[in-house]
Structure 1
Amino acid sequence: MAAIEEKAAALLERCEVLSLASINEDGFPRICVMSKAGSEGIRRVFFATGTSSRKTAHFMKNPKAGISYGDEKDSVTMTGTIKIVEDDGFKKSLWKDWYTAHFPGGPEDPEYCVLQFDALEATIYVDGDFVTWRASDGRCLCRYCQSCGMPLNSEELYGTEADGSKNGDYCRYCMTDGRFTADVTLEEMIELCLPHMSAAHPEITAGSAREMMRRLLPGLKRWRSERD
């Protein structure tokens, strides 16, 4: 297991409440806050719900799903698929005593339903690492600049060290020859990034974009080391 996957799995272990999204009758994502029933690393997560619930109906029609979890500084967002668990023995192994309030018949209650989420892709933001990860082979598909947050989806965008070698932590606009290209504060970096963010995502207002970066950038390596 790659280090970034281990970090994401450790975060999931600490999180009891996650957000789970299904596709509703009108084609929109419908997000529910759910208690985690169990997990296997980050590649598989289980939830308990009602057999007759809307979300179960959604997943029976369209298995595409998304989940997210996190704490004050780290987060993971995943896309994947949901299936209904049919194994009664396994369902019983996930049973928690407090489920009785919802399923008075216990693990054999016909309303007790277990959903199995299988990850396809994850965006992981943990301990300053910010990557897109693929479940099929555990590869990191994309890294993000640890100064401005720009996606580094090709080596052409990597910054360079003093010897001319590539630096996979920073983009070429933020680091050249082993040095940052601009001596700026975190707030100044946010303002520098704002026009580019707005151009790439015109649907996001400048105020919203600024707030997003104020949440994201402080956790990146360049700014995290300054805070530490």
Structure 2
Amino acid sequence: MCREENRVEMEQTIEELIDQAEVSFIGSVDDEGFPNMKAMLPPRRREGQGVFYFTTNTSSMRVRQYRDYPQACVYFCNPRTFKGVMLRGTMEVLEDQASKDLIWREGDTDYYSLGVTDPDYCVLRFTAENGRFYSHFHSDNFDVSMVR
């Protein structure tokens, strides 16, 4: 298979991994410089393979970590096929009403009792710079601009 076919196949597989993920894993950095990982629901919204939006509690430890150290990663995988993609980039904490409205869903009051204006509800926006794709006992690094 030529290099272009490999790239197209990798892009399609990455899209499938993201779209079919039942769980997302997000990574942050703590005050001691250690990585922290957390399982999350899949992103509420995404723009290509480079920008992802998640919901979380403003009061959470993770929000504090991202404010202090925006370096982050997001991991999507299919445990049945043993394929995965790790994206590295930065995480922003968004508290403006337009961002909150953008990804709010019916039923979110189960998590944020005051509704879409709840001060304990915020949006995490992850912007990827590069990634690493694993499939068939092989890993490939890539720039996200390549797959946008």
Normalising to structure 2: TM-score of the pair? 0.83
Contact 2:25 2:75 in 1 (8 A): yes
Structure 1 residues 129 and 29, CA, compared in 2 at 3 Å: closer, same or farther? Answer: closer
Offset of 1:122 from its aligned partner?
0.8
Normalising to structure 1: TM-score of the pair? 0.55
Q: Which position in structure 1 is the counterpart of 2:71?
A: 64
Q: How far, CA to CA, are the matches of 2:126 and 2:15 in structure 1? A: 14
Contact 1:7 1:126 in 2 (8 A): no
The CA RMSD over aligned residues, in Å, is 2.0
Q: Which position in structure 1 is the counterpart of 2:116?
A: 107
Q: Deviations over 1:30-53 (max 9, x none)?
A: 111011222122211111111111
Task: Tell me which stretches of 4 or more aligned residues in structure 1 moved more than 2 Å.
Answer: 4-7, 96-99, 125-130
Identity %: 26
Larger relative CO (CA 8 A, sep 6+): 1 or 2? 2
Contact 2:129 2:143 in 1 (8 A): yes
- 2:89 corresponds to 1:83: no
Q: Deviations over 1:72-92 (max 9, x none)?
A: 212111111001224422321
Q: In the alignment, which of 52, 60, 63 is matched to residue 45 of structure 1? A: 52
Q: How far, CA to CA, are the matches of 1:78 and 1:28 in structure 2? A: 18
- 2:23 corresponds to 1:11: no
Gaps of 5+ in 2: 1-6
Gaps of 5+ in 1: 140-228
The aligned runs of 1:71-220 (5 Å cut-off) are 71=78, 72-73=80-81, 74-126=83-135, 130-135=139-144, 137-138=145-146
What SS is found at the alignment partner of 1:12? helix
